Amino acid sequence: MYDKFRHDWFGYMTMQYELSDKLQTFNDNDCLIHVNYLYEFGPKCQFNQQFHCLWTESFNQHANLSEDKVKIQLTTKHQHSLNSLLAREKSTCSIQ
């Protein structure tokens, strides 16, 4: 079980390095578009898939924005961190 996990983990790490290299190549060629959006709740994965489908449908024939020439990276911005949602603020009054 450990050997399988180790093999899968190293395969995953190799895939991450290859993806990072591809993103860096797109970035070096000024072909990487970063899109940030506010994420509050809901199916984030579904939004990302629909966004990519709409982008492909809309810009498939475009000379500069087609999927093979541009890479789009979606990043979510959370309004609150989990720490701020779960942590209580310290009381300013002292206990007597």
In a domain, 9, yes or no: no
Domain that includes residue 58, residue range? 44-80
Asked whether residue 92 is domain-assigned, the answer is no
The pLDDT value recorded for residue 90 is 58
> For 3-15, what is each residue's pLDDT tens digit?
898 898 889 888 8
Quick one: pLDDT at residue 65?
79
Backbone angles phi, psi at 44, to 5 degrees: -65, -40
- Judge whether 61 lies within some domain: yes
Q: How far apart are CA 68 and CA 64, in angstroms?
A: 9
Measured CA to CA, the distance from residue 47 to residue 14 in angstroms comes to 27
- The answer to whether 16 and 22 are in contact (CB under 8 A) is no
In a domain, 60, yes or no: yes
DSSP string, 9-30: HHHHHHHHHHHHHHHHHHHHTT
Q: According to the model, what pLDDT value does residue 49 have?
A: 84
- Low-confidence stretches of the chain (pLDDT beneath 70): 39-45, 78-96
Q: Could you tell me if residue 30 is inside a domain?
A: no
